[in-house]
Amino acid sequence: MNGSSDKEAAARHDGTERRARPHLREMFDQAYRVAYPMLDSQQATGSAHFLRIVLHDAFPDLQQQDISILSVAIERVYRERSRAESQ
């Protein structure tokens, strides 16, 4: 996640931060590193539930809703990065 693009986005919205869970942004990189080996394996198909379990094991203090939000974001970023690498 890029800090400068965050600042640019906030500037476009009159400096107001729209995100309600900034703690998830702060931990995203660490969570992505935890999830990456599972996502990168051939068994990643249909593994949304397993990803949530992996994230819960790694971050037991997170609420279930935060784990769901984080897992969706991680899967999206993984797909985007995979597409970019294949081009």
pLDDT in tens, 52-62: 999 999 999 99
Instruction: Tell me the residue range of the domain where 49 lies.
Output: 20-86
7 in a structural domain: no
- In this prediction, residue 2 carries a pLDDT of 46
pLDDT above 70 for 82: yes
Domain tally, the chain:
1
- pTM here is 0.72
Could you tell me the CA-to-CA distances from 68 to 11, 49, 71 in Å, in that order? 28, 9, 5
For residues 3 and 87, the model is more confident at 87
34 in a structural domain: yes
77 in a structural domain: yes
Long-range Cβ contact pairs of 68-71 (< 8 A, separation 24 or more)? 69/21, 69/24, 70/24, 70/27, 70/28, 70/31, 71/35
Q: CB-based contacts of 59: which residues, under 8 Å, 6+ apart?
A: 27, 31, 67
Express each pLDDT in 16-37 by its tens digit.
666 678 889 999 999 999 999 8
For residues 61 and 43, the model is more confident at 61
